[in-house]
Chain A
Amino acid sequence: MTSPAVEDLLRTLAPQVLGVLVRRHGQFYACEDAVQEALLAAAVQWPEQGLPDHPRAWLVTVATRRLTDEWRGEHARRAREVAVAVRQPAYATVAPPADEEPPGGDDTLRLLFLCCHPALPVSAQVALTLRAVGGLSTAEIARAYLVPEATMSQRIRRAKQRIEAAGARFTLPSPADRDERLGAVLRVLYLVFNEGYAASSGEALHRAELTAEAIRLARELRRLLPDDGEVAGLLALMLLTDAHRAARTGPDGELVPLAEQDRSRWDRAAIEEGVALVTEALTWSSPGPYQVQAAIAAVHAEAPTAGTTDWPQIVSLYRVLAHLAPNPMVTLNQAVAVAMVDGPRAGLALLEPLDADGRTAGHHRLTAVRAHLLDLAGDRADARAAYLAAARATTSLPERRYLQARAARLAGDGPR
């Protein structure tokens, strides 16, 4: 078996094995470490020696052995410290049953809720989800987030400590908390997706893989929660966004805006799947923010050219989105759509209140949208100044390059 195939299998099995161990022994912290070690052992052994007959049972056995070794070690240490003989604990001698539980999706779901626990900062939720549910190694996560492995390792350790300190249980949230907790899970998956999607083509592959991993986890979540419209919406949004991947950067790695992308390079299969998902979800689910964003992406995807985009439809969808999830970033996008229907001045008017909003005042996205609308309005001098201001405010190199190029087009009498 080739290593990539082994890797895929290990990532699928990771949450199942962790679920078995946590259910059996409690102690999420120790079980998670043990599973991670078993995964690393499998990643080395399986490609060389071939797959075991029962890969999942193999992982459960190896992880359980690590766990009991760990406990024995702790006991031995304590025994030395207090200089008393202790009997080997009973749980260390319990042989793991070969394959006790069927691969249960509930475990994966419980793990997702646990990893996205509100006691954790978002960056820790992301790291822990990728490791405990995604089955990625600390080294892989560290490479994807461009930090040293020791840093990521500490972040994960701290996250697990906080989960223990918060007394979080390996259960599904109560119905009262469910929506909010599921919202946190969806946000984490979306963040992982965006981190990968935004990665420049020149960057290590590890980052781009985050996109595939997020889509994989969203598919898994959809399988577990087929009746949740927002889960379907999130998966659709990811697919419809990822469909632009090949067209979103030019030959030199420069960002290409949606309106200028070569639509023949969009991934049609991903678009079809995404459109079908969101269309179907909207027939039975009450619309949520992810479904509406996916619906907006679907309208863009279905336009054969930028010029034939159904902007009035997009404006009404943004109105729904602004109602469901009022947020200045939504207003920004809404302003662009309004400008396409009612003219740039109408869009600019929508931006004005955002200058007084602490979340957007001085934000490079606000300035960039203003620059774009001023540009459309033919106000070259102000547009150029706004593009340059946005270029100074962004912390992204490709965005800075794009904004500077836009500004340069407006300098003097250069071509537009």
Chain B
Amino acid sequence: MKYMLLIWNRPGFVEELSEAERNAIFGEVDEIMKELSESGELVGGEALAHPSQARTARPAAGGGTEITDGPFVESKEQFAGYLTVDCETPERAAEIAARWPDVRHGFGVLEVRAVMEQAGTEM
């Protein structure tokens, strides 16, 4: 079963860390990614550019569409990236999420979402 782990954190929190802290965090990420690669659970993942670089397409007030600068959601935590894993159980996916440094060090949250399948059986 595939799960997407959505990483939400406070933009710019990395800037406030010392180099040693930053390295420690990147090291933790590397370690998890290595484990997931070796176990054959890692399907993919991407980190996103800073939300200040985002543009949002939306329906315009007077009909049609418009493109505006910045992210759509005005919240303290922003969507920062994701990884997709293929796990035996939902518990395993949640366990991976709980180990992510953003969660462990209080910089953000990870949302675990099951990925829809194209397959299905008649009922």
Contact = CB atoms under 8 A, between A and B. Distances in A.
A and B part of one assembly: yes
A200 interface: yes
B43 A255 contact: no
A148 B119 contact: no
B52 interface: no
B44 interface: yes
Nearest to A152: B40
Interface stretch (A102-110, A116-124, A267-275, A307-315): A116-124
Contacts of A395: 1, 114-117
B119 A155 contact: no
A198 B121 contact: yes
A154 B37 contact: yes
Interface in A391-405: 394-400, 402-403
Contacts, number: 90
A148 B43 CA distance: 6
Interface residues of B, number: 22
Contacts of B41: 151, 155
Contacts of A195: 119
A56 interface: no
A41 to B, nearest CB: 25
A224 interface: no
Contacts of B122: 244, 248, 255-258, 261, 402
Contact of B40 (A156, A202, A258): A156
Interface in B67-117: 86, 88, 114-117
Name which of A123, A127, A400 has the most chain B CB atoms within 10 A of its CB.
A123
B116 A397 contact: yes
A101 B1 CA distance: 41
A146 B2 CA distance: 10
Interface of A: 121-124, 127, 145-148, 150-158, 194-195, 197-200, 202-203, 207, 244, 248, 255-258, 261, 365, 368-369, 372, 394-400, 402-403
